[in-house]
Structure 1
Amino acid sequence: MEAALYDPERGYYIRRVPTEDFYTAPELHPVFAAVLARQIARQLDSLKAAGVAGPYSVVELGSGSGILAREILKRLKEESPPWAQSIRYILVDRSRNALLDSIISLSASYERVMGCSRLEDVLPCSGVFFSNELLDAFPVHLLEKRDGGVYEVYVEESGRTLLSELSRGELKPFADAIGPRLEEGERHAVNLEALRWLRTVSEKLKEGTLVTIDYGKRFSGAPNPPRAFHRHSRDERLTEDKGLKDITASVDFDAMIHEGKQLGFQLESYGTLARFMLDGGIAEWFEQADKQGAIPSFKSRAKMKTLIHPEGMGEVFKVLIQRKKHLEPLP
């Protein structure tokens, strides 16, 4: 899965054309960035009120093309100018070309923009770390129940799959927990990489907030099969046509919350993207759209509805907000 998604020459995310197989929230409509910018400003205000020493950093994990960074900084400049001027905005993305393009573009308007190709290279800081549709793109370990036991699924170069013993001891608690709930032949994805990522974030975030926006749910032991998508359609052939399709698995937010507590993160909130957008003021944008011409208004409203509609992104995407250290819960 790592090779299929991230191979430097043939990996899916290296070759991907935006919106070809799926679209992300910031590609859909700028209101997503506007609401997220408000949340970031709110968290920074809380840090300042708690007396946490600055300067503060806003760290975007998996910054990609930079479209979200541009819109967030634009909104901060309009609604929270002091933060737009004082924060360090750090982009983290494994694509050096994307990082360079984003930094060059953003530096023309904002002085404190920098980038790292690895989270490990970010210096410890206080502020807000956030990701959007990052964790569901991490390579996963795939478990399958066969003859009453739980084994790991391996893929040969030819694409043929085979079952064998678990590759890592870390997988055993997951196999033991999910085994009784799996039917014969049923599969379950385990995202160990997401938990390692959370541990690294904990090392880098001294005080502040982690906002994780992704496709997933709180599984409570329910099976989590992986999926593949090609041209906006689900593709059941996970191991065929490597590099030409998006392979993903829903984020297990129960595991993220549990691991976070072990690392000193307090759960501030967990809910749907729809609730996050409504609480963040998306209604104001619908009012603005009504003032446009008929066709622009229709197009804008349709895109915004996708962000909050149960059959769009509104229910399947979740927003997890975790806070670190002594900060009191926000009102």
Structure 2
Amino acid sequence: MQLQLPEASIEAQRASRLLHKLIASEIRQHDGWISFARYMELLLYAPGLGYYSGGAAKLGKDGDFTTAPEITPLFGATLAHLATELIASSANLQAQILEFGAGSGQLAFDILTELAADPDGPALQAYYIVELSAELRARQQQKLRGFPQVQWLDRLPEAFSGVVLGNEVLDAMPVELVVRAAQGWQQRGVGLAETGGEADEAAFVYRDRAADPALVAQIPDADTLTVGHLTEVHPVAIGFMHTLAAMLKAGKGGVALLFDYGFPAAEYYLQQRDQGTLMCHYRHHAHPDPFYLPGLQDVTAHVDFTAMARAALDGGLDLLGYSSQAAFLLEAGIGRLLLRTSPDDPLQYLPQANALQKLVSPAEMGELFKVLAVGTQVELPERFSRHDRSHRL
């Protein structure tokens, strides 16, 4: 398939070729095959060359995709008020926030700006950011230089008490691909095409080998799926949820709010979704080819929220709620915050109302995006139960 996408700059193409050579070298070192999760990890996080560790803009109109904080500061303002409500209502939560994967830093900026505007509100002791990308961390430090309470961490701490936020974090974690073949389930990895040219320049191709039964075990009723059914499983994200659970349990009280696009397992592994959910994003174009311009495009998969919830429960956390993003934000008060701008001032009000519509409309992000809330020694306010879908997980 020939992709019709914007052309990359000469410098960007050079960086992509370097990453291609790095990945090709690793494939050769591993007998011509690496797992797709390893390939995706290198695409996104290879030092200096991966999508999230390189220098290209990722977010907003100049990047490859747009996230909720980039659309409107109302998203961060809403989470600021919810975080203070949760902290004030539980004696077990300390007045601190931890954000994992903060992107441009916009969400942290909006939360901290909203909290600073309320001198009578609870003082936030610290705002921690766990950021794996040195390049993104540098951007965040520039954007958040006016907030001394922000501290950067290289990994999740062993213990934390407070509110944890993750916006589009789980979908950026490497996934494994598995496909049902006539001889049974296969793990789809990456190899190099046979070529008479330079080995470092050989095209990437899919290669299958017998799948570890532990990978297939995540798929409900896997044996009922037809031959040719391709899907993702999420061992890295499951491992992250286990680590998150251990951290909150050690902290004696905390809640994690995870915003992402995805489905419960019963919908994720439907026969109708027989080619999986893997998608690539390049300059606001979506396409399915993860071999295109390595390092210059985002590669993601939808989240299996059942697997994430089960991992949290296995780690000793409570399932506090699961709902659409629209229902969650509306119950959290985003509509009330919009009305701080008078509808009688259309020049100010209409852009904010249109941005809010993108977050909550079922035709935009409102239904595809979900919110999973897990924690210990804390409960969500009762109003969130009105639209809870935990029974679907």
- TM-score normalised to structure 1 length: 0.88
Q: Alignment partner for residue 76 of structure 2, among 33, 46, 56?
A: 33
Q: 1:233-259: per-residue Cα shift (whole Å, max 9, x none)? A: 321223232222221111111111111
Q: Distance in 2 between matches of 1:208 and 1:80?
A: 24
Q: Structure 1 residue 38: deviation in Å?
A: 1.7
1:179-190 to 2 correspondences below 5 Å: 179-190=222-233
**Alpha-carbon distance change, 189 to 327 in structure 1, aligned in 2, over 3 angstroms:** same
Gaps of 5+ in 2: 1-39, 193-202, 383-393
Does 1:241 pair with 2:311?
Answer: no
Q: Structure 1 residue 314: deviation in Å?
A: 0.4
**Alpha-carbon distance change, 169 to 181 in structure 1, aligned in 2, over 3 angstroms:** closer
Secondary structure at 1:276 match in 2: helix
Q: Distance in 2 between matches of 1:182 and 1:239?
A: 27
Does 1:159 pair with 2:211?
Answer: no
Partner of residue 5, structure 2 = none
Q: Distance in 2 between matches of 1:329 and 1:312?
A: 26
What amino acid is aligned across from residue 125 of structure 2 in structure 1? I
Q: 1:23-47: per-residue Cα shift (whole Å, max 9, x none)? A: 0000000010011112211221122
Does 1:68 pair with 2:112?
Answer: no
Q: Structure 1 residue 89: deviation in Å?
A: 0.9
Partner of residue 362, structure 2 = 310
Q: 1:74-122: per-residue Cα shift (whole Å, max 9, x none)? A: 1122347543x34211011012343345346535344x32111222xx2
Q: Distance in 2 between matches of 1:309 and 1:329?
A: 23
Q: Distance in 1 between matches of 2:97 and 2:109?
A: 13
Q: Distance in 2 between matches of 1:86 and 1:159?
A: 48
Partner of residue 202, structure 1 = 245
1:77-96 to 2 correspondences below 5 Å: 77-79=116-118, 81-83=120-122, 85-96=123-134
Q: Percent identity?
A: 28
Q: Which stretch has the larger CA shift, 181-190 or 94-103?
A: 94-103
Partner of residue 10, structure 2 = none
Q: Distance in 2 between matches of 1:309 and 1:69?
A: 24
What amino acid is aligned across from residue 17 of structure 1 in structure 2? K
Q: Alignment partner for residue 173 of structure 1, among 217, 227, 231?
A: 217
What amino acid is aligned across from residue 249 of structure 1 in structure 2? A
What amino acid is aligned across from residue 153 of structure 2 in structure 1? C
Maintained 8 Å contact 2:86/2:380: no
Q: 1:282-313: per-residue Cα shift (whole Å, max 9, x none)? A: 22244344446434433222211000011111
RMSD, matched Cα: 2.3
Q: Distance in 2 between matches of 1:297 and 1:132?
A: 25
Q: Distance in 1 between matches of 2:168 and 2:41?
A: 16
Write 1 or 2 for the structure with the bigger share of strand: 1
Secondary structure at 2:265 match in 1: coil
Secondary structure at 2:117 match in 1: helix
**Alpha-carbon distance change, 63 to 239 in structure 1, aligned in 2, over 3 angstroms:** same
Q: Distance in 2 between matches of 1:278 and 1:55?
A: 25
Secondary structure at 2:187 match in 1: strand
Q: Structure 1 residue 267: deviation in Å?
A: 1.2
Q: Structure 1 residue 261: deviation in Å?
A: 1.2
Gaps of 5+ in 1: none
Does 1:18 pair with 2:59?
Answer: yes
Q: Could you say which structure has the larger radius of gyration?
A: 2
Secondary structure at 1:12 match in 2: coil
Does 1:132 pair with 2:132?
Answer: no
Secondary structure at 2:286 match in 1: strand
Maintained 8 Å contact 2:87/2:94: no
Number of corresponding residues: 320
Does 1:278 pair with 2:278?
Answer: no
Partner of residue 263, structure 2 = 217
Q: Which stretch has the larger CA shift, 269-278 or 154-163?
A: 154-163
Q: Distance in 2 between matches of 1:188 and 1:28?
A: 30
